[in-house]
Structures are given as structure tokens and as C-alpha cells.
């Protein structure tokens, strides 16, 4: 028999349905090409799937770079010719389960025809079929899960893999029961400061122990540096100031080390500080809630964070990876329903904040160019926000002389306006020709049950549908669109109600933080993942310790069953039990480890 028949016959002994499906799938997805060493390599769509020189050596190097823990399930994305899977089987002990995700059976058929598989193939569990079927198969293989990607082969089915990974992350999120200790590092000032508040609130509502390292208390001092006329002096001092705040942050983290350090955009953590945190085994993540095209400081920080979460997709994700980021994921903005909600306004409030048309925001260039054409119509237009100096054509509609508007006032304006304009910022004229990310105002307006008219964004359709939000593609169409919607009050109310339901169901900060933590949990199953699964809760630890360390198990059972217990809590409980002479050998060993932990925890 040829290699294909030998391999499929062997596969049929373990998974006859898969073997039959491969026979019916056909071949030809991969172009099989000899490598320089004589082994077969492969290309697809003109790109190499394995090394053109030595695919075996390349596979072994990839396998060596993969980390693992005893008892894990390793989920592999990317099939190719299976060289990397064979190398992984050779490296990992049999206590580690290996599941290979097969998005396209034709690729596996190509691989089966190239060479005869060895005994290692019997170690593989196969996850194939629909996204739901694959996710179920992977989930049933056992926890904890560690997802690894052989990028050249996985790129053929990137969308499928993202869908499967999302399904697995959601499963982790719904099963999460453990409490994380999270340090949130916010900015000194700016648009991501209120988002930091929403993130802290969401994490706390999910049951995590959150400490906000709030640098907004330094805003006044930092902003004083902006008054310096000499740009060299100003930039040098701002750099020193950021360095000082990084050291302050490190000192705060050293005093009470968290499981995760989560930064928001413009958090004052410089690259040397992030590198220091990595050496000390701190896990770090950044939610970059900015337009990567406009604010480019991410280029200096990309390699510093373990995880990046961004509000744009490609080419943003690729740009961050080129700059050194290892793990980059799309995570759009959201709303906080405890703040962004429908309000019952008094008559006086409706008179003050209400209008046919309103906009709340800063005076970016495109808005200054577009909004004058809205003045002088037979509708009322109110413009709220700051940074409108010099916009003389808008003086008659600018409210409160251009004072900054707080969150409470925003909610009243949203609720009191018939048509809320939502034009994303851009430094040019008109609408952003590369408009992709969806700003927080989109979700906040929807959560308020307020009707909005927004500029079209490429990422909008996946977040809000046409029956939930009105959009336009050119500024010239804005006056006519306003007139149209002012004459359709019933449809406005219906769309606003549907948008609110969608946001509450899918787009709150709780949803975002659950997704963020589950992603990190899947990527680090032995750290964040183990805590989220509840593996460090007292009852779970007591059961694990019962047979080998009964005295430790008895101490663990003095804690509430669902309480998370770490070494320092366990050591403190042991010390409270009595004199050293009454303690077991296991107890004394734990106390010794705690002493070592205490002496080596210092960061600064």
C-alpha cells in the first residue's frame, strides 16, 4: 500500500469517521515540494508551510520553543505535513494530551499522502468538523488547555482558528470561578482615564480583587510641564516624570504583587520598567484604547507587554507584532450600564440639555469643518465640549462657552436629544477615510437608549446592526439624514431600544473584561487559567493534598471552601496553630518556603 492507504487505515482504527471523511475530502490544497535535504516540504498560495531547506530541523526548533505543564491539554493550530506535531510528540511526556485542530480535511489528506506516519500518530486526538464540534471536542479533552500555533500552516485557516479560540475562551469565561488579584494602571489624564474607571468597576463586579494605581492624582503637576516654552526642556522633564511614575508603580506592585498588571492606554510604564516586571515574573497586559495610526508610542512599548488588546484589527495587529508584541487581540470598546442608562429628566433638565440635534466632544479638525453646515436650519443644534477655540462659525450653538462636559451631563444630553451625532475624530477634513475602530460614545449612546447617527466604520457591522444604529458615509449627506430621522420618531425609538438591548447583551465592560481574562487564561493555563478555574480555592487544594500531605489538607479545610488560598495565607494559618515543635514536617517546609518568598519578593 502507498503512504496514504497505510496512514488512513491506521487512523481508521482510532477514528473511523475521520478516516472516512478524509477519503471523501479530496486533495491538492498543499503544493508538495522537495526541500534541499530531500524531505518533502509544502507551499500554499505561494507561501512555504515548512522550511524549504530542512523542515525537520525547523519543526524541532518550534517544538522546543513550546512551554507546557504536566497534565495539560496542548491544542495545536496548524496541520501542514505534521512535522511539527511529530516533534511535539517526541518532546512532550505522555501525561500531556495533544489535540490537533483540523479545519480543512484536504490538508490532512495531503499530509497523509506524503509520508508514512510513525507510532507518534497514535498520541494525537483529532478535533474536526464545524467550529462547534471542534470546540466541544477540544473542551472534552480535559483542562487545563494550552493553545499553541504553528503559524505558517495556521495562516491558511486563520478565521476558523479565531472562531474556535473565541468559543474556547467563552467556555473558560463561563466556567471561571476563581478570584484574581489585578493591579490596574491608569493614565495621568486623557480619554482613557474614564475607561480605566469602567474597567475597575467591571473587574470588581466579576468578583476579582482589584487595585487601581491611579496616576490621575499627578495630573496637575504633569500639566504644569506643558507650560514650559522650551520644547527640549519640556520633553526632557516629561520623560523624567514618566520614569519617576514608573518607579512609583513598581514600588506599589512590589508591596502587594498581583496576578496580573493591566494597563490602559497612556499608563506611565516605560519599557525598562516593563522589562523589569517581566524578569520578576509579573504578567502584564495593555488595553490600547487608542487609534494606533495617531498615537504611535506603542512602537516603543510593543515588546514590553505579554498581552496587547486593541480596538482595531488589521493592519494594527500586524504592526504591533512587527514591533515586537507577542500576543495581540482585538477587543472593542464598550459601555458601563450602571452609568450609561436611560434617565427620567425634569422639565428644566430637558430645556437645558435637550435639542433636536446634539454633539458632545472635542473640537477636532474634521468636526470643525463639518458642523458649520448644521447651523441655521429649522432644527435646534447644541454643541457641547471643549477645544472649540477659534471655531467662530459655531459660537451660536456652543454650550457653556466650550467648558468640558462631565459624565453625568453627557448622559443627560444623550437622553434629551432627538438625534445624537457621533462623528469619530480625525485630523483631516470630512470623515476618516480609514475609519475602522468604533469609539466608546457609540456604546454609551446605545446603552442610554438614545438614537444616534454615526459615520460609517468598517468594524461597526459586527457590533451593531443597521436596525440598531443609523450611519452615513459622507458629510454632505449629514443635513439630509438629520432631516430624515427627525421626521421618523417611531423608528428612532425602536432603533434606540434595539441598540440598548444589544449593548446590554454583548457590549458592556463586564463582557470585555471577561473576554480579556479568558484570553489570558487560555494562553497561560498554569497561572491565570488555574486561578480562573478555581484550582487555588481551599477545597480544591485540600482534596489534592489529602493523601500525600494530610496535615496540610487539614489546615486548608480551616478556610472557607471557595476562598483562594496562597502560600502566605497558608503559612499564616500554620503559624497560628501553635509552637514549632508541634508542627509536621510538611508544615515546616511550607513555612520555610514562605520565608524564602518574603525575602525575595522585593522589586525595586
Neighbours of 286 (CB within 10 A): 27
More confident residue, 540 or 287: 287
Compute the distance between CA of residue 255 and CA of residue 604 in angstroms, rounded to an integer.
10
Provide mean pLDDT across the span 97-107: 93
In tens, the pLDDT along 118-155 reads 999 999 999 999 888 888 888 787 667 888 899 899 98
Q: Which of 73-77, 339-343, 543-547 has the lowest mean pLDDT?
A: 543-547
Higher pLDDT residue, 539 or 361? 361
Q: What is the mean pLDDT of the chain?
A: 90
Q: What is the 3-state secondary structure (H, E, C) of 446-498?
A: HHCCCCEEEECCCCCCCCCCCCCCEEECCHHHHHHHHHHHHCCHHHHHHHHHH
pLDDT of residue 1: 64
Q: What is the C-alpha separation between 49 and 159, in angstroms, rounded?
A: 17
Confidence (pLDDT) at 127: 92
CA-based nearest residue to 430, from 381, 473, 481, 484: 473
**158-to-152, 165, 232, 279, 293 alpha-carbon distances in Å:** 10, 10, 46, 32, 24
Quickly count: other Cβ atoms within 10 Å of residue 540's Cβ.
20
Report pLDDT for 355: 97
Other Cβ atoms less than 10 A from the Cβ of 482: the count is 22
DSSP states along 143-156: SSEEEEE-HHHHGG
Task: Please give the pLDDT value at position 592.
Answer: 83
pLDDT in tens, 487-503: 999 999 999 999 999 99
Q: State yes or no: pLDDT of 567 exceeds 90.
A: no
If one counts every other C-beta atom within 10 angstroms of the C-beta of residue 544, the result is 14
* Percentage with pLDDT > 70 across the chain: 96
Q: Is the pLDDT of residue 581 over 70?
A: no
267-313 residue pLDDT tens: 999 999 999 999 999 999 999 999 999 999 999 999 999 999 999 99
Would you say residue 544 has pLDDT above 90?
no
User: What is the mean pLDDT of the segment spanning 532-556?
Assistant: 79
Strand ranges across the sheet with 47-48: 31-34, 40-44, 47-48
Instruction: Identify the three-state secondary structure at position 132.
Output: helix
pLDDT confidence band for 362 (50 / 70 / 90): very high
3-class DSSP string for 303-318: CCCCEEEECCCCCHHH
Q: CA torsion, points 314, 426, 442, 329, in degrees to nearest 10?
A: 20
Report the alpha-carbon distance of residue 102 to residue 347 in Å, rounded: 62
Kindly report, residue by residue over 458-496, the tens digit of the pLDDT.
999 999 999 999 999 999 999 999 999 999 999 999 999
- Higher-confidence position of 314 and 598: 314
3-state SS string over 232-293?
A: HHHHHHHHHHHHHHHHHHHHHHHHCCCCEEEEECCCCCCHHHHHHHHHCCCCEEEEECCCCC
Whole-number pLDDT of residue 11 = 93
pLDDT digits (tens, 9 = 90+) for 364-403: 999 999 999 999 999 999 999 999 999 999 999 999 999 9
Task: Please confirm whether the linkage preceding 213 is cis (ω < 30° from 0).
Answer: no
On the question of a cis peptide bond just before residue 144, with omega within 30 degrees of 0, the verdict is yes
Under 8 Å between Cβ of 574 and 587 = yes
User: Which pLDDT score, from 0 to 100, does residue 174 have?
Assistant: 56
DSSP state of 180: P
Handedness of CA 93, 96, 102, 105 (dihedral sign): positive
C-alpha 101/C-alpha 79 separation (Å) is 8
The phi, psi pair for 183, rounded to 5°, reads -100, 120
Domains by residue range for the chain, with CATH: 3-175 (no CATH), 181-334 (3.40.50.2300), 348-507 (3.40.50.2000), 536-600 (no CATH)
Using alpha carbons only, give the angle 191, 194, 196 rounded to the nearest 5 degrees: 105
CA dihedral 37, 39, 40, 41 (to 10 degrees): -50
Report the pLDDT value the prediction gives residue 559, as an integer from 0 to 100.
83
Question: Where do runs of H (alpha helix) occur along 157-260?
Answer: 158-175, 192-205, 219-225, 231-255
> Cα–Cα distance between 30 and 49 in angstroms, integer?
9
Give me the mean pLDDT over the 92-108 stretch.
Answer: 92
What pLDDT digit, counting tens, does each position of 308-357 carry?
A: 999 999 999 999 999 999 999 999 999 999 999 999 999 999 999 999 99
Amino acid at each position: 500500500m502507498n503512504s496514504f492507504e497505510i496512514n488512513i487505515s491506521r487512523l481508521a482504527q482510532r477514528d473511523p469517521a475521520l478516516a472516512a471523511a478524509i477519503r471523501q475530502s479530496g486533495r491538492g490544497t498543499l503544493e508538495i515540494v522537495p526541500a534541499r535535504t530531500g524531505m518533502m516540504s509544502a507551499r500554499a498560495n505561494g507561501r512555504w508551510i515548512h522550511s524549504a531547506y530542512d523542515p525537520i530541523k525547523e519543526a524541532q526548533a518550534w517544538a522546543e520553543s513550546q512551554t507546557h505543564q504536566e497534565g495539560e491539554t496542548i491544542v495545536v493550530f496548524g496541520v501542514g505535513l505534521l512535522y511539527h506535531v511529530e516533534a511535539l510528540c517526541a518532546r512532550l511526556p505522555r501525561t500531556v494530551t495533544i489535540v490537533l485542530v483540523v479545519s480543512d480535511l484536504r490538508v490532512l489528506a495531503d499530509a497523509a499522502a506524503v509520508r508514512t506516519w510513525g507510532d507518534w500518530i497514535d498520541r494525537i486526538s483529532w478535533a474536526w468538523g464545524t467550529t462547534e464540534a471542534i470546540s466541544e471536542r477540544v473542551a472534552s479533552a480535559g483542562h487545563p488547555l494550552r493553545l499553541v500555533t504553528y503559524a505558517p500552516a495556521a495562516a491558511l485557516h486563520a478565521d476558523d482558528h479565531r472562531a474556535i479560540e473565541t468559543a474556547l475562551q467563552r467556555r473558560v469565561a463561563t466556567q471561571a470561578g476563581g478570584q484574581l488579584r489585578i493591579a490596574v494602571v491608569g493614565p495621568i489624564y486623557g480619554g482613557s482615564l474614564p475607561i480605566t474607571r469602567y474597567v475597575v468597576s467591571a473587574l470588581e463586579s466579576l468578583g476579582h480583587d482589584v487595585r487601581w494605581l491611579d496616576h490621575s492624582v499627578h495630573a496637575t503637576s504633569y500639566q504644569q510641564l506643558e507650560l514650559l516654552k522650551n520644547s527640549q526642556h519640556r520633553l526632557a522633564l516629561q520623560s523624567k516624570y514618566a520614569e519617576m511614575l514608573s518607579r512609583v508603580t513598581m514600588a506599589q506592585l512590589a508591596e502587594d504583587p498581583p496576578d496580573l498588571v493591566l494597563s490602559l492606554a497612556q499608563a506611565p510604564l516605560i519599557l525598562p520598567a516593563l522589562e523589569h516586571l517581566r524578569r520578576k515574573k509579573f504578567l502584564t497586559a495593555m488595553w490600547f484604547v487608542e487609534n494606533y495610526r495617531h498615537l504611535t508610542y506603542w512602537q516603543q512599548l510593543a515588546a514590553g507587554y505579554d498581552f496587547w488588546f486593541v480596538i482595531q484589527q488589521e493592519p494594527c495587529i500586524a504592526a504591533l507584532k512587527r514591533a515586537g508584541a507577542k500576543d495581540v487581540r482585538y477587543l472593542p470598546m464598550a459601555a458601563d450600564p450602571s452609568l450609561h442608562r436611560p434617565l427620567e429628566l425634569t422639565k428644566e433638565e430637558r430645556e437645558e440639555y435637550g435639542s433636536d440635534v446634539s454633539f458632545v466632544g472635542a473640537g477636532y479638525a474634521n468636526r470643525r469643518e463639518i458642523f458649520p453646515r448644521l447651523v441655521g436650519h429649522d432644527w435646534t443644534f447644541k454643541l457641547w465640549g471643549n477645544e472649540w477655540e477659534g471655531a467662530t462659525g459655531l459660537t451660536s450653538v456652543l454650550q457653556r462657552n466650550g467648558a468640558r462636559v462631565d459624565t453625568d451631563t453627557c448622559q443627560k444630553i444623550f437622553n434629551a436629544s432627538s438625534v445624537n451625532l457621533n462623528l469619530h475624530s480625525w485630523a483631516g477634513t470630512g470623515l476618516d477615510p480609514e475609519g475602522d475602530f468604533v469609539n466608546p460614545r457609540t456604546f454609551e449612546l446605545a446603552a442610554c437608549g438614545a438614537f444616534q447617527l454615526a459615520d460609517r466604520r468598517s468594524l461597526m457591522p459586527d457590533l451593531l446592526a443597521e436596525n440598531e444604529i443609523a450611519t452615513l458615509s459622507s458629510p454632505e449627506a449629514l443635513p439630509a439624514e438629520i432631516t430624515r430621522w427627525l421626521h421618523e420618531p417611531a423608528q428612532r425609538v425602536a432603533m434606540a431600544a434595539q441598540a440598548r438591548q444589544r449593548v446590554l447583551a454583548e457590549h458592556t465592560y463586564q463582557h470585555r473584561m471577561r473576554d480579556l481574562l479568558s484570553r489570558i487564561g487560555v494562553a497561560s493555563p498554569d497561572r491565570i487559567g488555574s486561578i480562573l478555574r478555581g484550582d487555588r480555592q481551599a477545597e480544591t487544594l485540600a482534596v489534592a493534598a489529602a493523601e500525600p500531605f494530610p496535615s496540610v489538607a487539614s489546615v486548608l479545610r480551616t478556610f472557607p471552601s471557595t476562598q483562594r488560598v496562597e502560600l502566605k495565607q497558608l503559612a499564616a494559618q500554620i503559624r497560628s496553630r501553635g509552637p514549632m515543635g508541634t508542627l509536621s514536617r510538611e508544615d515546616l517546609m511550607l513555612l520555610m518556603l514562605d520565608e524564602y518568598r518574603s525575602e525575595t519578593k522585593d522589586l525595586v
